[in-house]
Structure 1
Amino acid sequence: MEVEPFRNKTEKPSMDHPHTTTSDAARVLRKRRKRRNICFGAIALLVFIIILIIILAFTVFKAKRPVTTVDSVSLSDLNFSVDLARFRVLLNATLDVDLSIKNPNKVGFKYRDSNAQLNYRGQQIGEAPIPAGKISADQTVPMNLTLTVMADRLIYNSRFFSDVTTGGVLPLYAVTRISGKVNVMNLFKIQ
């Protein structure tokens, strides 16, 4: 009985060994090639997936600003009083404002507490809080806000009376700022 000497697995089979055949050597080479090809395929697939995610993050999933549209504004309350001690006229109005906020992103948008402001010639004359929330992908969410207008600030503006008497039109400017995060596949969080 012949005893086969111990050999290392990394060592190639010797052709002068009596129990080694060419079919064994070919089988070992095929196994090595198969393992190497599987590793290369897995690495190539991983690189492809990473490149695909990066391309999608910078094109399709690129964060866009939400679009805010004022649908309607109506006067719900008007308070008028005169402070004779200070020689002031106090005038406050409450407006009901219907907004639509559209999320143009392909992923959901989560926003923090924000506010809507009403300005007259660069001076803030009203403000309404917007509570935090979430808007799904490509969704438009209607919001009803109550905006309190400090109309006495209007009256004390030097151009107010000329705007009212000449054209009857007040140049009001509404600003709504909504800040939040867009979460792309739980990988990228874009503000």
Structure 2
Amino acid sequence: MVEYGTLTSDELRRKKRIKLAIYIAAFAVFQTIVILVFALTVMRVKTPKVRLGTNITFQNFNTGTQVSPSFDLSFTTQVGIKNTNFGPYKYDSTIATFMYQGVTIGQVTIPKGKAGLRSTKKVTVTVNVNSNALSSTTGLGSELGAGVLTLNSQAKLSGKVELMFVMKKKKSAEMNCSMTINLSSKAIQSMICE
């Protein structure tokens, strides 16, 4: 009878060890799933987005005619740097270039800064563009005759996304916007950013 009780005691210890091993294995699997979900969502670094704002205020608005095509514009707008990451995006100073049919007609500096985690940093810039750099104004004359002016803007922000104050990843955000200005209303008719 003593042997029978000893066997039962040994069996109980064995069952407790098996239970403990199962609990440890279940905990390890649970932790692996939590770490995997965390790595795939929070720790995934997305490329920030840079966009030109649609709220544009013109300070200077001079345009020529279809016969004598020219323009000289000065306006204030906002450049939005949208950071969807779970860490701040620190970017360096860069230049945004404004073009008419591929020819550079103006540039503006976007100062270095920081877009907070999951937020949009808005930088106000004043842009001066004119037709002095255009060698041929044949397309400009017909566009001014139609009452519109189409400009393109490009910029590339280089910076780093910092995650959990430990990991830093380099990311470059690019802006490529096309805006159509209505000359009679002196306002933005359309803005398309890629």
TM-score higher than 0.5 here?
yes
Query: Equivalent residue for 2:80?
Result: 101
- Find 1:178's aligned residue among 157, 169, 174: 157
Query: Equivalent residue for 2:13?
Result: 28
- CA deviations on 1:16-67 (whole Å, 9 max, x unpaired) are xxxx923541343144224412320232122211331244259xx5625414
Q: Report if aligned partners of 1:63, 1:105 keep a CA contact under 8 Å in 2.
A: yes
Cα distance in 1 for partners of 2:168, 2:144 equals 54
Structure 1 residues 150, 167: closer, same or farther in 2, change over 3 A? Answer: closer
- Which protein has greater RCO, CA pairs closer than 8 Å, 6+ apart? 2
Query: Equivalent residue for 1:51?
Result: 36
Instruction: Kindly provide the amino acid, as one letter, of the partner of residue 48 in structure 1.
Output: I
The aligned runs of 1:13-162 (5 Å cut-off) are 21-56=6-41, 63-70=46-53, 71-75=55-59, 95-103=74-82, 105-107=84-86, 108-149=88-129, 151-154=131-134, 156-159=135-138, 162=141
Q: CA deviation at 1:184?
A: 4.8
Structure 1 residues 158, 151: closer, same or farther in 2, change over 3 A? Answer: closer
Structure number, greater radius of gyration: 1
Q: CA deviation at 1:101?
A: 0.8
Q: CA deviation at 1:72?
A: 0.9
Query: Equivalent residue for 1:82?
Result: none
Cα distance in 2 for partners of 1:161, 1:187 equals 49
Point out where structure 2 has 5 or more consecutive residues left out of the alignment.
63-69, 172-194
Cα distance in 2 for partners of 1:165, 1:189 equals 45
Cα distance in 2 for partners of 1:144, 1:21 equals 82
The structure with more strand, counted as a fraction of residues: 2
Q: Report if aligned partners of 2:107, 2:128 keep a CA contact under 8 Å in 1.
A: yes
Counting aligned pairs with the same residue, the percent is 20
Cα distance in 1 for partners of 2:129, 2:52 equals 19
Instruction: Kindly provide the amino acid, as one letter, of the partner of residue 56 in structure 2.
Output: S
Instruction: Kindly provide the amino acid, as one letter, of the partner of residue 38 in structure 1.
Output: Y
Cα distance in 1 for partners of 2:78, 2:121 equals 8
Q: CA deviation at 1:165?
A: 6.0
Instruction: Kindly provide the amino acid, as one letter, of the partner of residue 66 in structure 1.
Output: K
Query: Equivalent residue for 1:166?
Result: 145
Aligned residue pair count? 158
Structure 1 residues 73, 153: closer, same or farther in 2, change over 3 A? Answer: farther
Query: Equivalent residue for 2:191?
Result: none
Structure 1 residues 161, 48: closer, same or farther in 2, change over 3 A? Answer: closer
- CA deviations on 1:98-127 (whole Å, 9 max, x unpaired) are 214152615343322222111011011111
